């Protein structure tokens, strides 16, 4: 009697545990299944092109019959010489300049919005920034050509052409890039500015700090990782921009994205496709270096500005 | 501060550090002489329709710790922030040591402040936080380091100078904040609910430490709190505020025993409201079958009033069979064990609930359901308008 009771007592929890274990297993399997569509998209849209770029950058194909493929570092070497190097440096210079100006301008604008007493201003600026940060390519180029191009409305009205102004130059391109980079910086930095505690300012004042000293010794150091993160984002955005530059300056300002397009299209020299892929790899390396700086700083910033 | 917060040191090192801390405290005290006086003169401040301070008049004596006590929105924090320079009064003056500082900017007020949420700078180490004010005053790096070390020793965290705020507990952060507030040897120390974010045990320990430091440094201190126990246990005097006005400013014992207003009486400690009726001249009130003198200037005659009585002043006795009158029909409804004391709830014949405190040993004679007589001592009582 007592034995049968024991058996029942131990069997009941075991029977109850079985469905629970099955549920846990099903739950564990559901996670990977849920992210499967994303993984597929990433594989198709990023993984395969990345592999193709990597493979193409380090191979060359013989002309003529047989089309034998050889491994080489010649493409990378070529991508870092002559006009290609000039284009890479031009892109870096343009991106650094546009990102730097946008970081400063975006910070000032965002601070003005954050400290404004008018909530409607904040909503308006945030909404406009959301739209403008995504306004690029040919439409943006056309808008500037119509306004500040050689026959643009403002150029004619203000006589800018007589003052030596040209939209189709390095600084013209910087100006156009600012149009979408400044709003992007505003969107990026506002959460960080919101995270600056009012009591830090008061504590600084209480310890004798002037407004300038507060910004110099407290606010900017605390914001530095976020600002650098925003700068990196802007740099990447400017570095990768293609359509706007293509529509505006063509070949007059050397940029890496335009050189890649030329190489892949064979517009200037035929058979430079793999050099174009090597230039793409150069861009990835530059972006990787920038991200290597950004990620640890972002982690630190997240801890401070909780 | 508590030795548990710091790693163990050798006896010699510990003695040397204690000596340094004592020297630092002594130097601070000498620099400050006897502490500053603080006066609020008819200070008014409103935020839109809400009046935060409504003609506040308050004097703080040199070297005393004065607690500003009151419910949320009573204006106590506004008063403190006004003294710190973070708020500007619409009218009135804030005076420190006879000098009108009303329009002096916050960074030149010479008042060290400790905030409720610590507010340490997250990118600076504990030592750099403490030395921040000295850095703003362009004090040399060597002097800054030495002063920070002295203050860290003073607050009991001599080995925590290299740590960052996120590596410190709440109590440790607040000690660093206290050290930072003292670094510039301010004339006045302002504490804005500095303990409210801490757990009970740390709060109790830090409460004692703040008091010890304040006494050692003899620094005039304003301490904002809504916790009456904190205020009564720490302060030399307590200023009770209500709706932007000062209700009463007195020593803790006097505040408890002789509250000036019904608000103070009910805000500080527990108070019974027992229905009564004033006599012919308003100087006497009839309550639970007795006639007691009214405390203060008296009330209007022949008025229904509430008599305010502390639970420990209520006397209970088991009613003998056949007892008549209002006091004889009261009945115990329950008891609450509070340690050495037990609180007994009694319902009077008219339905009023009265609390009476007595020693736990005595309270065993009054289980729920016991018929009791309720008595009050022959002492002046505070009366207030009858509450519906």
Kindly state whether residues B179 and B300 are assigned to the same domain. no
- Do both B283 and B225 map to the same domain? no
Could you say which of B257, B289, B304 is where a domain stops? B257
Pick the CATH number of A74-304 from 3.30.70.1070, 3.60.20.10, 1.10.3720.10, 3.40.50.261: 1.10.3720.10
Q: Which residue among B212, B229, B257 closes a domain?
A: B257
- Indicate the pLDDT class of residue A110, thresholds 50, 70 and 90: very high
B386 interface with A at CB cutoff 8 Å: no
B265 within domain boundaries: no
pLDDT of residue A7: 43
Taking an 8 Å cut-off on Cβ atoms, the answer to whether B136 and A208 are in contact is yes
Q: What is the pLDDT of residue A8?
A: 46
| Mean pLDDT, rounded, for B343-356 | 93
pLDDT tops 60 at residue A76: yes
Q: Kindly report the CATH number assigned to the domain that includes residue B341.
A: 2.40.50.100
Distance between start and end Cα atoms, chain B: 50
What mean pLDDT comes out for the span B85-106? Answer: 95
**Which residues of B are less than 8 Å from A197 in CB distance?**
117, 119
Nearest CB partner across the interface for A208, out of B119, B166, B184: B184
Which member of A200, A206, A304 has the closest CB to residue B106?
A206
Same domain, B285 and B252: no
Are B185 and B299 within one domain? no
> What is the domain range of residue B217?
3-257
Q: Is the pLDDT of residue B30 over 70?
A: no
B113 pLDDT tier (thresholds 50, 70, 90): very high
pLDDT at position B150:
93
Q: Note the pLDDT of residue B55.
A: 93
Contact status of B184 with chain A (Cβ, < 8 Å)? yes
Q: Looking at chain B, how many residues does it have?
A: 388
- Asked if B173 and B289 sit in the same domain, the reply is no
Instruction: State both tokens at B197.
Output: 């974010």
Instruction: Decide if B277 touches A, using CB distance below 8 A.
Output: no
Please indicate, yes or no, whether residues B172 and B226 belong to a single structural domain of this protein: yes
Chain B residues near residue A202 by CB distance under 8 angstroms? 84, 86, 106, 113, 115, 119
CATH number of the domain bearing residue B91: 3.40.50.300
- Asked if B111 lies within 8 A of A208 by C-beta distance, the reply is no
Residues of chain B in contact with residue A192, where contact means CB-CB under 8 angstroms, are: none
Q: Is residue B142 part of a domain?
A: yes
Give the distance from residue A199's alpha carbon to the nearest chain B alpha carbon, in angstroms: 6
Q: Is the pLDDT of residue B142 over 80?
A: yes
> Would you kindly state where each structural domain of chain A is located, as residue ranges?
2-57, 74-304
pLDDT > 80? residue B252: yes
Is A206 in contact with B122 (Cβ distance < 8 A)?
no
Query: How far is the alpha carbon of A290 from chain B, nearest alpha carbon, in Å?
Result: 23
The mean of the pLDDT values for chain B is 87
Determine the average pLDDT of the residues in A83-108.
Answer: 93
Whether residues B240 and B94 fall in one domain = yes
Q: Identify which of B111, B117, B136 has the shortest CB distance to residue A213.
A: B136
Contact A221, B123 (CB under 8 A): yes
**Nearest residue in B to A218, CA atom:** B121
Q: Of the candidates B257, B290, B325, which is a domain's last residue? A: B257
Q: How many domains in chain B?
A: 2
Do B47 and B24 share a structural domain?
Answer: yes
Judged against a pLDDT cut of 70, whether residue A20 lies above it is answered with yes
A-B contacts (CB, under 8 Å)? 69
Flag if A199 and B132 touch (Cβ within 8 Å).
Answer: no
- The Cβ of residue A221 has, within 10 Å, a number of other Cβ atoms equal to 15
* Among B86, B121, B137, beta carbon nearest to A208: B137
B86 and A CB contact within 8 Å: yes
CB B132 to CB A217 under 8 A?
Answer: yes
DSSP string, chain A: -HHHHHHHHHHHHHHHHHHHHHHHHHHHHHHHHHHHHHHHHHIIIIIHHHHHHHHHHTEEE-SSTT--EEE-SHHHHHHTSHHHHHHHHHHHHHHHHHHHHHHHHHHHHHHHHHT-S-HHHHHHHHHHHHHHTT--HHHHHHHHHHHHSTT-HHHHHHTTTTTT--SSSHHHHHHHHHHHHHHHHHHHHHHHHHHS-HHHHHHHHHTT--HHHHIIIIIHHHHHHHHHHHHHHHHHHHHH--HHHHHHHTTSS--HHHHHHHHHHTSSSTT-HHHHHHHHHHHHHHHHHHHHHHHHHHHHHHHHT-
The model's pLDDT over A117-126, given as tens digits with 9 standing for 90+, comes to 888 999 999 9
Task: Decide if A217 and B135 are in contact by the 8 Å CB cutoff.
Answer: yes
Spatial distance between the Cα atoms of B173 and B156, rounded to a whole number of angstroms:
12
Q: Give the tokens for residue B40.
A: 């609020």
Q: Which of B117, B121, B133 minimises the CB distance to A208?
A: B133
Does pLDDT of B387 surpass 60? yes
The ipTM assigned to this model is 0.80
Q: Is residue B262, in this structure, part of any structural domain at all? A: no
Local confidence band at B26 (pLDDT 50, 70, 90 cut-offs): low
Same domain, B325 and B207: no
**Given this model, what pLDDT does residue B19 score?**
54
Considering the domain boundaries, does residue B162 fall inside one?
yes
Within 8 A of A217 by CB-CB distance, chain B residues are 132, 135-136
Instruction: Mark yes or no for CB contact A205/B107 under 8 Å.
Output: yes
**What is B312-378 written as a DSSP string?**
GG-EEEEPPTT--SGGGGEEEEEEEE-SSEEEEEEE-TTS-EEEEEEEHHHHTT--TT-EEEEE--S
The owner of tokens 């592999």 is A51
Contacts of A203 in chain B (CB under 8 A): 113, 115, 119-121, 180
Does the pLDDT of residue B182 top 90, yes or no? yes
Per-residue pLDDT averaged across A219-239, rounded? Answer: 89
Across B258-269, average pLDDT: 90
Indicate whether A46 pLDDT > 90.
no
Which of B80, B116, B119 is the best substitution to test chain A (most A C-beta atoms within 10 A)? B119
Distance from CA of B114 to the nearest CA of A (A): 8
How close is the nearest chain A Cα to the Cα of B191, in Å? 12
For residue B243, being part of any structural domain is answered with: yes
Return the pLDDT at A208. Answer: 94
pLDDT at B25: 56
Of residues B101 and B299, more confidence is placed in B101
Q: Please check the confidence at residue B82 and state whether its pLDDT lies above 90.
A: yes
**pLDDT at position A77:** 87
pLDDT (mean) for B79-90: 95
Whole-model pTM? 0.76
Contact B86 A202 (CB under 8 A): yes
Long-range CB contacts (< 8 A, 24+ apart) of A80-87? Answer: A80/A282, A83/A254, A83/A259, A84/A256, A84/A259, A84/A275, A84/A279, A86/A254, A87/A254, A87/A255, A87/A256, A87/A258, A87/A259, A87/A279
């Amino acid at each position: 009697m007592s034995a049968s009771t024991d058996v029942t007592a131990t069997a009941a929890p075991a029977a109850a545990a079985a469905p629970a274990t099955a549920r846990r297993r099903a739950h564990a399997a559901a996670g990977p299944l849920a992210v499967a569509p994303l993984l597929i998209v990433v594989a198709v849209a990023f993984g395969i092109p990345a592999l193709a770029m990597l493979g193409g950058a380090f191979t060359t194909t013989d002309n003529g019959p047989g089309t034998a493929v050889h491994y080489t570092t010649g493409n990378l070497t070529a991508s870092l010489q002559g006009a290609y190097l000039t284009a890479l440096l031009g892109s870096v210079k343009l991106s650094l300049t546009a990102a730097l100006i946008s970081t400063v301008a975006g910070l000032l604008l965002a601070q003005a919005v954050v400290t404004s007493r008018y909530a409607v201003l904040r909503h308006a600026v945030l909404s406009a920034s959301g739209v403008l940060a995504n306004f690029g390519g040919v439409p943006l180029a056309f808008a500037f050509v119509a306004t500040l191009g050689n026959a643009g409305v403002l150029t004619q009205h203000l006589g800018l052409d007589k003052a030596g102004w040209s939209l189709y130059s390095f600084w013209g391109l910087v100006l156009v890039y600012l149009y979408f980079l400044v709003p992007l910086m505003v969107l990026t930095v506002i959460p960080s500015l919101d995270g600056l505690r009012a009591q830090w300012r008061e504590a600084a004042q209480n310890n004798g700090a002037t407004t300038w000293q507060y910004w110099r010794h407290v606010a900017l150091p605390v914001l530095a990782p976020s600002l650098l993160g925003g700068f990196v984002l802007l740099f990447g955005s400017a570095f990768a921009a293609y359509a706007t530059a293509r529509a505006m300056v063509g070949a007059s300002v050397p940029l890496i994205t335009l050189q890649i397009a030329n190489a892949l299209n064979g517009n200037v020299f035929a058979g430079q496709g793999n050099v174009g892929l090597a230039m793409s790899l150069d861009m990835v390396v530059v972006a990787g270096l920038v991200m290597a700086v950004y990620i640890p700083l972002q982690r630190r910033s997240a801890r401070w500005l909780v | 501060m508590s030795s548990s917060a710091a790693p163990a040191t050798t006896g010699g090192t510990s003695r040397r550090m204690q000596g340094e801390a004592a020297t630092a405290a002594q130097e601070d005290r000498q620099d400050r002489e006897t502490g500053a006086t603080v006066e609020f003169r008819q200070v008014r401040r409103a935020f839109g329709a809400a009046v935060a301070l409504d003609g506040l008049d308050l004097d703080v004596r040199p070297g005393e710790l004065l607690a500003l006590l009151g419910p949320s929105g009573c204006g106590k924090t506004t008063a403190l922030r006004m003294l710190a320079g973070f708020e500007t009064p619409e009218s009135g003056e804030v005076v420190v040591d006879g000098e009108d500082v009303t329009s002096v900017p916050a960074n030149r007020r010479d008042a060290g402040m400790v905030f409720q949420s610590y507010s340490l700078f997250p990118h600076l180490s504990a030592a750099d936080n403490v030395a921040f004010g000295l850095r703003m005053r362009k004090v040399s790096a060597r002097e800054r380091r030495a002063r920070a070390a002295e203050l860290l020793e003073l607050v009991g965290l001599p080995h925590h100078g290299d740590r960052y705020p996120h590596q410190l507990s709440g109590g440790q952060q607040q000690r660093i904040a206290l050290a930072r507030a003292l670094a510039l040897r301010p004339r006045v120390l302002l504490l804005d609910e500095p303990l409210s974010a801490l757990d009970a045990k740390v709060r109790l320990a830090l409460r004692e430490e703040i008091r010890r430091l304040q006494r050692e440094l003899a620094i005039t201190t304003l301490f904002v709190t809504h916790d009456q126990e904190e205020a009564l246990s720490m302060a030399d005097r307590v200023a009770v505020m209500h709706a932007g006005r000062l209700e009463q400013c007195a020593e803790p014992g006097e505040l408890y025993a002789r509250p000036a207003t019904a608000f103070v009486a009910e805000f500080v400690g527990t108070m019974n409201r027992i229905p009564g009726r004033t006599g012919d001249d308003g100087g006497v009130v009839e309550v639970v079958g007795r006639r007691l003198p009214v405390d203060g200037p008296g009330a209007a005659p022949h008025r229904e009033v509430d008599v305010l009585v502390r639970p420990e002043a209520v006397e209970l006795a088991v009613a003998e069979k056949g007892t008549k009158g209002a006091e004889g029909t009261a009945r115990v409804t329950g008891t609450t064990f509070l340690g050495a004391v037990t609180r007994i709830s009694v319902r009077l014949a008219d339905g009023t609930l009265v609390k009476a405190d007595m020693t736990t040993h005595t309270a065993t004679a009054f289980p729920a359901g016991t018929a009791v007589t309720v008595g009050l001592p022959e002492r002046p009582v505070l009366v207030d308008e009858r509450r519906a």
